[in-house]
Protein backbone atom coordinates (compact mmCIF):
# COMPACT_ATOMS: atom_id res chain seq x y z
CA UNK A 1 0.00 0.00 0.00
CA UNK A 2 1.09 3.61 -0.56
CA UNK A 3 0.86 4.27 3.19
CA UNK A 4 3.42 1.53 3.89
CA UNK A 5 5.78 3.01 1.31
CA UNK A 6 5.45 6.44 2.93
CA UNK A 7 6.33 4.96 6.32
CA UNK A 8 9.38 3.29 4.80
CA UNK A 9 10.55 6.58 3.22
CA UNK A 10 10.19 8.46 6.51
CA UNK A 11 12.08 5.69 8.28
CA UNK A 12 14.93 5.93 5.76
CA UNK A 13 15.13 9.72 6.28
CA UNK A 14 15.45 9.21 10.02
CA UNK A 15 18.18 6.63 9.61
CA UNK A 16 20.08 8.88 7.17
CA UNK A 17 19.94 11.81 9.62
CA UNK A 18 21.26 9.57 12.39
CA UNK A 19 24.06 8.36 10.11
CA UNK A 20 25.02 11.90 9.07
CA UNK A 21 24.92 12.97 12.73
CA UNK A 22 27.35 10.24 13.76
CA UNK A 23 29.70 11.16 10.91
CA UNK A 24 29.54 14.83 11.91
CA UNK A 25 30.26 13.93 15.54
CA UNK A 26 33.42 12.14 14.43
CA UNK A 27 34.57 15.15 12.37
CA UNK A 28 33.83 17.58 15.22
CA UNK A 29 35.69 15.34 17.66
CA UNK A 30 38.73 15.18 15.38
CA UNK A 31 38.61 18.98 14.89
CA UNK A 32 38.37 19.45 18.66
CA UNK A 33 41.36 17.18 19.29
CA UNK A 34 43.32 18.98 16.58
CA UNK A 35 42.53 22.38 18.14
CA UNK A 36 43.55 21.22 21.62
CA UNK A 37 46.81 19.74 20.32
CA UNK A 38 47.49 22.98 18.45
CA UNK A 39 46.99 25.00 21.62
CA UNK A 40 49.38 22.71 23.49
CA UNK A 41 52.05 23.03 20.81
CA UNK A 42 51.56 26.82 20.70
CA UNK A 43 52.09 26.99 24.47
CA UNK A 44 55.30 24.99 24.16
CA UNK A 45 56.55 27.36 21.52
CA UNK A 46 56.27 30.26 23.96
CA UNK A 47 56.22 33.77 22.51
CA UNK A 48 56.75 32.48 18.99
CA UNK A 49 53.61 30.34 19.20
CA UNK A 50 51.43 33.01 20.74
CA UNK A 51 49.88 34.05 17.40
CA UNK A 52 49.10 30.47 16.48
CA UNK A 53 47.56 29.98 19.91
CA UNK A 54 44.86 32.49 18.97
CA UNK A 55 44.11 30.53 15.79
CA UNK A 56 43.96 27.24 17.73
CA UNK A 57 41.54 28.75 20.28
CA UNK A 58 39.34 30.00 17.47
CA UNK A 59 39.38 26.52 15.89
CA UNK A 60 38.28 25.03 19.20
CA UNK A 61 35.50 27.62 19.57
CA UNK A 62 34.25 26.96 16.03
CA UNK A 63 34.47 23.22 16.62
CA UNK A 64 32.33 23.53 19.75
CA UNK A 65 29.89 25.80 17.94
CA UNK A 66 29.67 23.40 15.01
CA UNK A 67 28.92 20.51 17.37
CA UNK A 68 26.24 22.52 19.13
CA UNK A 69 24.56 23.51 15.87
CA UNK A 70 24.81 19.97 14.47
CA UNK A 71 23.26 18.52 17.64
CA UNK A 72 20.47 21.06 17.51
CA UNK A 73 19.84 20.40 13.81
CA UNK A 74 19.81 16.65 14.35
CA UNK A 75 17.36 16.87 17.25
CA UNK A 76 15.07 19.19 15.28
CA UNK A 77 15.04 16.97 12.20
CA UNK A 78 14.67 13.75 14.18
CA UNK A 79 11.80 15.33 16.11
CA UNK A 80 10.08 16.14 12.82
CA UNK A 81 10.74 12.62 11.52
CA UNK A 82 9.37 11.03 14.70
CA UNK A 83 6.30 13.24 14.50
CA UNK A 84 5.83 12.29 10.85
CA UNK A 85 6.20 8.60 11.72
CA UNK A 86 3.57 8.94 14.44
CA UNK A 87 1.17 10.85 12.22
CA UNK A 88 1.75 8.42 9.35
CA UNK A 89 1.03 5.49 11.65
CA UNK A 90 -2.20 7.16 12.73
CA UNK A 91 -3.09 7.85 9.09
CA UNK A 92 -2.35 4.27 8.08
CA UNK A 93 -4.46 3.00 10.98
CA UNK A 94 -7.33 5.31 10.02
CA UNK A 95 -7.13 4.30 6.36
CA UNK A 96 -7.00 0.60 7.25
CA UNK A 97 -10.02 1.05 9.51
CA UNK A 98 -11.88 2.88 6.73
CA UNK A 99 -10.98 0.11 4.26
CA UNK A 100 -12.33 -2.54 6.62
CA UNK A 101 -15.54 -0.61 7.12
CA UNK A 102 -15.88 -0.20 3.35
CA UNK A 103 -15.42 -3.93 2.81
CA UNK A 104 -18.01 -4.80 5.48
CA UNK A 105 -20.46 -2.33 3.93
CA UNK A 106 -19.84 -3.90 0.52
CA UNK A 107 -20.41 -7.41 1.90
CA UNK A 108 -23.74 -6.30 3.39
CA UNK A 109 -24.76 -4.48 0.23
CA UNK A 110 -24.09 -7.55 -1.93
CA UNK A 111 -26.09 -9.96 0.22
CA UNK A 112 -28.89 -7.39 0.49
CA UNK A 113 -29.04 -7.14 -3.31
CA UNK A 114 -29.86 -10.83 -3.66
CA UNK A 115 -32.16 -10.83 -0.62
CA UNK A 116 -34.23 -7.94 -2.00
CA UNK A 117 -34.41 -9.75 -5.32
CA UNK A 118 -35.66 -12.90 -3.60
CA UNK A 119 -38.23 -10.95 -1.58
CA UNK A 120 -39.87 -10.18 -4.92
CA UNK A 121 -40.01 -13.91 -5.64
CA UNK A 122 -42.03 -14.51 -2.46
CA UNK A 123 -44.52 -11.91 -3.69
CA UNK A 124 -44.61 -13.36 -7.21
CA UNK A 125 -45.46 -16.91 -6.20
CA UNK A 126 -48.26 -15.88 -3.81
CA UNK A 127 -49.75 -13.46 -6.31
CA UNK A 128 -49.64 -15.80 -9.30
CA UNK A 129 -51.11 -18.64 -7.24
CA UNK A 130 -54.41 -16.68 -7.27
CA UNK A 131 -54.56 -16.63 -11.09
CA UNK A 132 -57.97 -17.95 -12.26
CA UNK A 133 -56.33 -19.96 -15.04
CA UNK A 134 -54.34 -21.92 -12.44
CA UNK A 135 -56.97 -22.74 -9.82
CA UNK A 136 -59.52 -23.42 -12.56
CA UNK A 137 -57.19 -25.95 -14.21
CA UNK A 138 -56.65 -27.74 -10.89
CA UNK A 139 -60.40 -27.74 -10.14
CA UNK A 140 -61.16 -29.35 -13.47
CA UNK A 141 -58.29 -31.82 -13.10
CA UNK A 142 -59.78 -33.10 -9.84
CA UNK A 143 -62.94 -34.07 -11.67
CA UNK A 144 -61.42 -35.77 -14.70
CA UNK A 145 -59.51 -34.92 -17.90
CA UNK A 146 -58.92 -31.20 -18.21
CA UNK A 147 -56.90 -30.72 -21.37
CA UNK A 148 -58.41 -27.35 -22.22
CA UNK A 149 -57.93 -25.76 -18.78
CA UNK A 150 -54.46 -27.30 -18.41
CA UNK A 151 -53.44 -25.89 -21.80
CA UNK A 152 -54.75 -22.49 -20.73
CA UNK A 153 -52.77 -22.70 -17.47
CA UNK A 154 -49.64 -23.63 -19.39
CA UNK A 155 -50.14 -20.68 -21.72
CA UNK A 156 -50.50 -18.38 -18.72
CA UNK A 157 -47.28 -19.71 -17.15
CA UNK A 158 -45.42 -19.34 -20.44
CA UNK A 159 -46.61 -15.75 -20.78
CA UNK A 160 -45.35 -14.90 -17.28
CA UNK A 161 -42.07 -16.68 -17.97
CA UNK A 162 -41.50 -14.69 -21.13
CA UNK A 163 -41.29 -11.43 -19.20
CA UNK A 164 -39.79 -12.69 -15.93
CA UNK A 165 -36.41 -13.92 -17.13
CA UNK A 166 -35.14 -14.49 -13.58
CA UNK A 167 -36.96 -17.85 -13.61
CA UNK A 168 -35.86 -21.13 -15.08
CA UNK A 169 -39.38 -22.52 -14.85
CA UNK A 170 -42.85 -22.07 -13.36
CA UNK A 171 -44.69 -25.26 -12.43
CA UNK A 172 -48.31 -26.04 -11.56
CA UNK A 173 -48.66 -29.25 -9.53
CA UNK A 174 -51.57 -31.23 -8.18
CA UNK A 175 -51.62 -32.44 -4.59
CA UNK A 176 -49.98 -35.72 -5.63
CA UNK A 177 -46.88 -33.85 -6.79
CA UNK A 178 -47.49 -34.27 -10.53
CA UNK A 179 -46.51 -31.34 -12.70
CA UNK A 180 -49.63 -30.67 -14.80
CA UNK A 181 -48.35 -27.54 -16.55
CA UNK A 182 -45.11 -25.64 -16.67
CA UNK A 183 -43.54 -22.82 -18.62
CA UNK A 184 -40.23 -24.28 -19.75
CA UNK A 185 -41.51 -27.44 -21.41
CA UNK A 186 -44.79 -29.03 -22.50
CA UNK A 187 -44.24 -32.50 -21.02
CA UNK A 188 -45.66 -33.53 -17.66
CA UNK A 189 -43.62 -35.32 -15.00
CA UNK A 190 -43.63 -36.36 -11.36
CA UNK A 191 -41.31 -34.69 -8.86
CA UNK A 192 -38.08 -36.39 -7.91
CA UNK A 193 -37.48 -37.42 -4.30
CA UNK A 194 -35.21 -34.42 -3.76
CA UNK A 195 -37.95 -32.05 -4.92
CA UNK A 196 -40.52 -33.58 -2.61
CA UNK A 197 -39.11 -31.70 0.38
CA UNK A 198 -40.23 -28.26 -0.75
CA UNK A 199 -43.41 -29.63 -2.33
CA UNK A 200 -44.58 -31.30 0.90
CA UNK A 201 -44.03 -28.09 2.84
CA UNK A 202 -45.91 -26.08 0.23
CA UNK A 203 -48.85 -28.50 0.14
CA UNK A 204 -49.13 -28.24 3.94
CA UNK A 205 -49.26 -24.42 4.06
CA UNK A 206 -52.31 -23.16 5.94
CA UNK A 207 -53.00 -20.00 3.98
CA UNK A 208 -52.61 -18.39 0.61
CA UNK A 209 -50.57 -15.71 2.34
CA UNK A 210 -47.82 -18.22 3.14
CA UNK A 211 -44.97 -19.59 1.05
CA UNK A 212 -42.00 -21.92 1.37
CA UNK A 213 -38.55 -21.95 -0.17
CA UNK A 214 -36.06 -24.69 -1.00
CA UNK A 215 -32.32 -24.69 -0.56
CA UNK A 216 -30.16 -23.79 -3.55
CA UNK A 217 -29.79 -27.14 -5.28
CA UNK A 218 -29.16 -28.65 -8.75
CA UNK A 219 -32.31 -28.95 -10.84
CA UNK A 220 -33.24 -32.43 -12.12
CA UNK A 221 -33.10 -31.46 -15.81
CA UNK A 222 -29.54 -30.24 -16.41
CA UNK A 223 -28.03 -29.98 -12.93
CA UNK A 224 -27.79 -26.18 -12.92
CA UNK A 225 -28.57 -24.71 -9.49
CA UNK A 226 -31.93 -23.16 -8.82
CA UNK A 227 -33.95 -21.94 -5.86
CA UNK A 228 -37.65 -22.83 -5.68
CA UNK A 229 -40.36 -20.72 -4.05
CA UNK A 230 -43.75 -22.40 -3.69
CA UNK A 231 -47.26 -21.56 -2.48
CA UNK A 232 -50.60 -23.36 -2.46
CA UNK A 233 -53.13 -22.74 -5.19
CA UNK A 234 -56.54 -22.49 -3.52
CA UNK A 235 -60.13 -22.75 -4.64
CA UNK A 236 -61.35 -19.48 -6.08
CA UNK A 237 -57.96 -17.89 -5.47
CA UNK A 238 -59.03 -17.13 -1.90
CA UNK A 239 -56.38 -17.10 0.83
CA UNK A 240 -58.58 -19.40 2.96
CA UNK A 241 -59.88 -21.55 0.12
CA UNK A 242 -59.38 -25.30 -0.06
CA UNK A 243 -55.93 -26.32 -1.30
CA UNK A 244 -56.06 -27.59 -4.88
CA UNK A 245 -52.38 -27.83 -5.70
CA UNK A 246 -49.06 -25.98 -5.64
CA UNK A 247 -47.44 -23.29 -7.76
CA UNK A 248 -43.63 -23.38 -7.79
CA UNK A 249 -41.33 -20.79 -9.36
CA UNK A 250 -37.73 -21.84 -9.94
CA UNK A 251 -35.31 -18.92 -9.64
CA UNK A 252 -32.38 -18.97 -12.07
CA UNK A 253 -29.82 -19.01 -9.28
CA UNK A 254 -26.63 -19.59 -11.25
CA UNK A 255 -27.09 -16.56 -13.50
CA UNK A 256 -28.58 -14.10 -11.01
CA UNK A 257 -26.22 -14.91 -8.12
CA UNK A 258 -23.30 -14.97 -10.55
CA UNK A 259 -24.02 -11.37 -11.46
CA UNK A 260 -23.89 -10.42 -7.76
CA UNK A 261 -20.51 -12.00 -7.00
CA UNK A 262 -18.81 -11.17 -10.29
CA UNK A 263 -20.13 -7.77 -11.33
CA UNK A 264 -21.77 -5.83 -8.51
CA UNK A 265 -18.63 -5.28 -6.39
CA UNK A 266 -17.30 -2.66 -8.80
CA UNK A 267 -13.63 -3.62 -8.32
CA UNK A 268 -10.89 -2.41 -10.64
CA UNK A 269 -8.98 -4.95 -12.70
CA UNK A 270 -6.09 -4.74 -10.23
CA UNK A 271 -8.39 -5.22 -7.23
CA UNK A 272 -9.94 -8.31 -8.80
CA UNK A 273 -6.50 -9.95 -9.02
CA UNK A 274 -6.47 -10.14 -5.20
CA UNK A 275 -10.19 -10.19 -4.33
CA UNK A 276 -12.92 -12.76 -3.92
CA UNK A 277 -16.67 -12.32 -3.37
CA UNK A 278 -18.96 -15.00 -1.92
CA UNK A 279 -22.53 -15.60 -0.80
CA UNK A 280 -22.92 -18.11 2.04
CA UNK A 281 -25.96 -19.72 3.62
CA UNK A 282 -26.61 -19.69 7.37
CA UNK A 283 -24.31 -22.69 7.83
CA UNK A 284 -21.47 -21.04 5.86
CA UNK A 285 -21.91 -23.24 2.81
CA UNK A 286 -21.03 -21.56 -0.47
CA UNK A 287 -24.02 -20.42 -2.53
CA UNK A 288 -22.01 -18.42 -5.07
CA UNK A 289 -18.31 -17.63 -5.42
CA UNK A 290 -16.43 -15.37 -7.82
CA UNK A 291 -13.59 -17.92 -7.68
CA UNK A 292 -15.95 -20.70 -8.75
CA UNK A 293 -15.80 -22.96 -5.66
CA UNK A 294 -18.38 -25.78 -5.76
CA UNK A 295 -21.91 -25.09 -4.56
CA UNK A 296 -22.42 -26.32 -1.01
CA UNK A 297 -18.75 -26.51 -0.03
CA UNK A 298 -17.92 -25.03 3.36
CA UNK A 299 -16.15 -21.70 3.75
CA UNK A 300 -14.09 -21.25 6.92
CA UNK A 301 -15.46 -17.93 8.21
CA UNK A 302 -13.92 -16.76 11.46
CA UNK A 303 -16.96 -14.70 12.47
CA UNK A 304 -16.57 -14.98 16.25
CA UNK A 305 -20.34 -15.06 16.66
CA UNK A 306 -20.74 -11.57 15.15
CA UNK A 307 -23.24 -10.66 12.44
CA UNK A 308 -20.67 -8.53 10.66
CA UNK A 309 -17.00 -7.66 10.89
CA UNK A 310 -13.59 -7.92 9.28
CA UNK A 311 -10.80 -10.28 10.30
CA UNK A 312 -7.15 -10.24 9.23
CA UNK A 313 -5.10 -13.37 8.59
CA UNK A 314 -1.38 -13.58 9.49
CA UNK A 315 -0.47 -12.98 5.84
CA UNK A 316 -2.46 -9.71 5.83
CA UNK A 317 -5.52 -11.04 3.98
CA UNK A 318 -8.73 -9.29 5.06
CA UNK A 319 -12.05 -11.12 5.16
CA UNK A 320 -15.11 -8.91 5.60
CA UNK A 321 -18.50 -10.46 6.24
CA UNK A 322 -22.06 -9.34 6.92
CA UNK A 323 -25.22 -11.29 7.72
CA UNK A 324 -28.32 -10.16 5.88
CA UNK A 325 -30.73 -7.92 7.78
CA UNK A 326 -33.59 -9.26 5.67
CA UNK A 327 -36.01 -7.17 3.68
CA UNK A 328 -39.51 -6.29 4.90
CA UNK A 329 -41.05 -9.56 6.13
CA UNK A 330 -38.48 -11.72 4.31
CA UNK A 331 -35.75 -12.74 6.77
CA UNK A 332 -33.16 -13.46 4.09
CA UNK A 333 -32.60 -17.04 5.33
CA UNK A 334 -29.63 -15.93 7.44
CA UNK A 335 -27.34 -15.63 4.42
CA UNK A 336 -23.96 -13.84 4.45
CA UNK A 337 -22.05 -11.69 2.03
CA UNK A 338 -18.26 -12.08 2.16
CA UNK A 339 -15.46 -10.04 0.56
CA UNK A 340 -11.87 -11.33 0.72
CA UNK A 341 -8.99 -8.97 -0.08
CA UNK A 342 -5.38 -10.16 -0.28
CA UNK A 343 -2.57 -7.62 0.36
CA UNK A 344 -0.56 -6.05 -2.45
CA UNK A 345 2.53 -8.13 -3.17
CA UNK A 346 5.91 -6.48 -2.66
Q: Report d(CA 142, CA 244) in Å as an integer.
A: 8
pTM value surpassing 0.85: no
DSSP code at position 285: B
Q: How wide is the angle at C-alpha 136 spanned by C-alphas 119 and 148, nearest 5°?
A: 120
- Domain positions in the chain are 2-96, 129-252, 256-341
- Separation in Å, CA 45 to CA 37, 38, 59, 136, 326: 12, 11, 18, 131, 99
pLDDT at position 70, please? Answer: 64
Q: Do domains 2-96 and 256-341 have the same CATH topology?
A: no
Q: Report d(CA 154, CA 136) in Å as an integer.
A: 12
pLDDT tens for the chain, residues 1 to 346: 445 555 565 566 656 656 665 666 666 666 666 666 666 666 666 666 556 666 666 666 666 666 666 666 667 666 666 666 666 666 666 667 888 899 999 999 999 999 999 999 999 999 999 999 999 999 887 665 556 888 899 999 999 999 999 999 999 999 999 999 999 865 566 787 778 899 999 999 999 999 999 999 888 878 889 999 999 999 999 999 999 999 999 999 999 999 999 999 889 999 999 999 999 999 999 999 999 999 999 999 988 889 999 999 999 899 999 999 999 999 999 999 999 999 887 5
Class of domain 129-252: alpha beta
- Measure the CA dihedral 8/10/13/15, to 10°: -60
In a 3-state reduction of DSSP, which class is residue 79? helix
Q: What is the CATH number of domain 256-341?
A: 3.30.450
How many Cα atoms within 13 Å fall on the side-chain side of residue 8? 6
Q: How wide is the angle at C-alpha 126 spanned by C-alphas 122 and 130, nearest 5°?
A: 160
Q: Are β-strands 318-323 and 308-312 bridged in parallel, bridged antiparallel, or unpaired?
A: antiparallel
Closest CA to 338 of 315, 309, 316: 309
- Within 10 angstroms of residue 183's Cβ, the number of other Cβ atoms is 23
For 55-69, b where at least 16 C-beta lie within 10 A, e where not — what string? ebeebbeebeeebee
Given a contact cutoff of 8 angstroms between Cβ atoms, the answer to whether 150 and 180 are in contact is yes
Given a contact cutoff of 8 angstroms between Cβ atoms, the answer to whether 311 and 302 are in contact is yes
* Superfamily of structural domain 2-96: Methyl-accepting chemotaxis protein (1.10.287.950)
Strand-pair partners of 135: none
Amino acid sequence: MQQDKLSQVIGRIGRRVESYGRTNDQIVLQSHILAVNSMIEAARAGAQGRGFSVVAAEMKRMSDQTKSMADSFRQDVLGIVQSAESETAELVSALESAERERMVALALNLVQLIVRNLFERTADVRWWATEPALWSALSFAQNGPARGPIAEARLRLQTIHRYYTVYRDLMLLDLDGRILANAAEASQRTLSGEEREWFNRAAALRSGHDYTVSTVHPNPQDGAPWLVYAATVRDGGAADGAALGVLAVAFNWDREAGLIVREEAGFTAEEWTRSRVLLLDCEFRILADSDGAPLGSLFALNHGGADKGCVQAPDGTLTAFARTIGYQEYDGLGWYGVVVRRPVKG
